[in-house]
Structure 1
Amino acid sequence: MLQPYACLPDASRGRLFPESISTFRTPFQRDRDRIIHSSAFRRLKHKTQVFVEHEGDYYRTRLTHTIEVAQVARTIASALGLNTDLAEAVALAHDLGHPPFGHTGEDALALLMEPYGGFDHNAQALRIVTKLERHYAGFDGLNLTWETLEGIAKHNGPVEAPWNYALAEVNALWDLELGTNASAEAQVAAVADDCAYNHHDLHDGLRAGLFTEDDLCELPIIGDCFEQVDRMHPGIDPMRRRHEALRRVFGVMVEDVIAVAQNRLTSLCPQTVDDIRAMEGPIIRFSKPVYQNLKAIKLFLFQRMYRAPSVVVERQRVTKMVNALFPLFLEQPDLLPQDWQTDVATAKAKGNEGKTELARVVLDYVAGMTDRFAIQEYHRLVAPEA
């Protein structure tokens, strides 16, 4: 039974290109399935979070991260009486726009694209699902429902103008009401993202040897979880101890979100999804104490993991690759594959706007690369001797 403020599939605002209703699936289930079957989703398996793919098979990729986010989103949405299919669809799509090399690649492309309208991975995800996926006979993109597009655009909160060009293009076609909150389902996907990466970055950082369990025991929440495991399972194998403790950290975050949301929903009594959108801030969030504790954990991860000397060296190496490939393709667009040449020709035909349009075509190509393909292209086109 869904709550009155949940997104009901029968009340969806529909799709940009009208389609007949599926016999066996709701519109949001159909969105979820289209995302899973997209080319951009498959490429996530070779795009990384923090560590570049070749550094180890055990580290999270964008795909494993996305699956974890979707699982958490379904759990939270189900506990709150929300539409689990919509929450899952937004979670599965939330990282489709990420370029190779994680946030390092995004930072590099954002600087390169400053003269041409900028780069933002959320806006790029919208561009992918509305334009760049070209498999269906009747339309470009995946023709997702309004609610899923809204969730991709606003799951982190209202988006203030001026908007990235990719977001502006989609919003011009279909008003996503960017100044309001997203649905509760999309907010769930955003918090699930926080829970997932806080949890797995601790795992990955330990595996990489960037810090130890003793270091983590000095942090809020985590220290208590290790104490619980030691008390209940004295002498446990170290790897099992690590997993048990971090599993409990995960549980603390998820349970806190559910409890806070239940209290706020009971107190505020929203009656429709539009009541959720019109609220001052998000309805789905951590409690203040847990939020403050997570800030301490994130600061630790920033200092000891994201800016660890070995990670910084790798960031510099892959930034050099992106900084070489983007201008190379911009100056020599004939190097792009044949199936991209129609877009190149269209951009060139726009006269004075052609340079900007061409830069956006090149961005679409480079941002779509996996880590391994970007490395291969760099060595093929720029530094074959390396």
Structure 2
Amino acid sequence: MTDHDGYDDAARERIVEEPPKRVDAPVRTPFERDRARVVHAAASRRLAAKTQVVGPQSDDFVRNRLTHSLEVAQVARDLSRALGSQPDIAETAALAHDLGHPPFGHNGERVLAEVARACGGFEGNAQTLRLLTRLEAKTDGAGLNLTRATLDACTKYPWRVTDAGADGKFGVYDDDLPVFDWMRRGAVGTRKCLEAQVMDLADDVAYSVHDVEDGIVAGRVDLTALDTGAVWQVVRDWYLPGADDDVLDATLAGLREVGSWPSAPYDGSRRSLAALKNLTSDLIGRFCGAVQHATFAASDGPFVRYAADLLVPDQARLEMAVLKGIAAHYVMRTDDRIALMERQRELLRELVETLVTRGPDALDRPFADDWADAPDDAARLRVVLDQVASLTDQSAVTWHRRLC
């Protein structure tokens, strides 16, 4: 059976069948219920104290993982609605896409990936699936018990660690394969559903635009005085290995033609803040508009699940990579940032080692119970990683100070 919105009974199915809601309960679609479950999850609240680019304690203005996720959700919802797909699915996927990230952002993720080799690795997106289907308490044995369509939309990398590319990205641990296989029923190979593609694009758009905005307000980025040689090297190192200077120069020239691109340095005034917000809005509209037009030109749809794909023009990818390179060079590669990241990595390594040694007496009750049920050392290491990944930046520091 297929409903008028293009989502059939299989898309609405949950891991554990749920009884009908009370007759006096608000009438909501299954996908609206999914969104509410993610919004009310404890893991969502913890994102407010997790690093996006700069630590959340460093400045009142900079984005944390929660504010970033809210902005990604807004972009995803608008684009999904414009395409005619179910906006609640794309928005929920965007709200959930960073739930599995550990303390200290991608820096912490890299540390946990190194120490997790004995139990199959660690990856923020695989941890998100684990959290949604196992760790976050709503339905016993099924996590938040989300619908198949929503879970699938949350999966940015629908493959195992053995199929990961050079970037090491993957979306499921081996002991979560049963629910992953259930979720991917009807999918072909490693193809992402349309809603996951929307979430991924929204994340890229928000990441590329907002990190530059944060860098400008922090006084680290001046768009009127860029060292393009250094920035282009970062773009090649991190995002586009084969891009040459002429292509990147032309891409930046195109961005400078955006009417709100600054002609004077940011000075902190309300006028300057308003101009910066206009630039942010214009760039988001530029990228989403280009993707919408290209997608409509490539297919007649419907733009749901596996009936179509999102098409991102090469020019939009280039422009987002240039913006990411600007933020990376002026914010993430500074000497003070590099020194801080090394201290964070050392802290997480020591915390994992201590928790493995101390065992259940040092873990929160849910993870101590998981430890008791773990059949071997690899499973117990996974429990420790689940515990550490659940911590915020500050609680990781506090736990380290108390235990190490």
For this structure pair, what is the TM-score category when the shorter chain's length is used for normalisation?
0.7 to 0.9
- The whole-number CA distance in structure 1 between the counterparts of 2:125 and 2:188 is 13
User: Counterpart in 2 of 1:341?
Assistant: 368
Deviation at 1:149, TM superposition (A): 1.6
Contact 2:159–2:171 at 8 Å: present in 1 too?
Answer: no
With normalisation by structure 1, the TM-score equals 0.85
Amino acid in structure 1 at the alignment position of 2:287: M
Residue type matched to 2:108 in 1? G
Of residues 49, 68, 72, the one that matches 1:69 is: 72
Partner of 1:19: 18
8 Å contact from structure 1 (residues 221, 249) kept in 2: no
Match of 1:368 in 2: 390
Distance 2:331 2:142 in 1: 40
Structure 2 letter corresponding to 1:210? R
Residue number in structure 2 paired with 1:78 = 81
Letter of the 2:307 counterpart:
D
Report the alpha carbon displacement of residue 135 of structure 1 after superposing the two structures with TM: 3.9
Among all aligned residue pairs of Structure 1 and Structure 2, give the percentage whose two residues are the same amino acid. 33
Q: Is the 8 A contact 2:160 2:172 kept in 1?
A: no
Note the 1:69-148 alignment, pairs <5 A.
Answer: 69-136=72-139, 138-148=140-150
Asked if the contact 2:160–2:174 (Cα under 8 Å) also holds between the matched residues in 1, the reply is no
Question: Which residue matches 1:206?
Answer: 216
User: In structure 2, do the counterparts of structure 1 residues 8 and 275 end up closer, same or farther at CA, with 3 Å as the change threshold?
Assistant: closer
Code of the aligned partner of 1:12: A
Tell me the amino acid that sits aligned with residue 378 of structure 2. T
Query: What corresponds to 2:244 in structure 1?
Result: none
2:248 aligned residue: none
Structure 2 partner of 1:280: none
Structure 2: tracts of 5 or more residues without a match? 164-169, 229-251
* Cα deviation, residue 265, structure 1: 2.1
- Where does residue 179 of structure 1 map in the other structure? 189
- 1:254 pairs, out of 288, 296, 307, with 288
1:298 aligned counterpart, secondary structure? helix
Alignment check: 8 A CA contact 2:120 2:174 kept? no
Unaligned runs of 5+ in 1: 277-282
User: Is 1:325 matched with 2:314?
Assistant: no
Partner of 2:7: 8
Classify 1:228/1:292 alpha carbon distance in 2 versus 1 (closer, same or farther; 3 Å).
closer
- The answer on whether the counterparts of 2:195 and 2:305 sit within 8 Å (CA) in structure 1 is no
The CA deviation at 1:178 is 7.1
The letter for the 2-side match of 1:93 is A
Given the two structures, how large is their TM-score scaled by the length of structure 2? 0.82
Q: How many residues align?
A: 361
CA distance in 2, matches of 1:69, 1:204: 15
For residues 63 and 220 of structure 1, do their structure 2 counterparts lie closer, same or farther at Cα, with a shift above 3 Å needed?
farther
Q: CA offset at residue 13 of structure 1? A: 4.8
Counting only pairs closer than 5 Å after superposition, residues 293-312 of structure 1 correspond to structure 2 as 293-312=319-338
Mapped to 2, the partners of 1:86 and 1:166 lie a distance apart of 20
Contact 2:260 2:282 in 1 (8 A): no
> What CA distance in whole angstroms lies between the structure 1 residues aligned with 2:67 and 2:270?
27
SS in 1 for 2:203: helix
Determine if contact 1:32/1:86 at 8 Å carries over to the other structure: yes
What secondary structure sits across from 1:49 in the alignment? Answer: coil
One-letter code aligned to 1:224 = E
Paired letter, 1:248: D
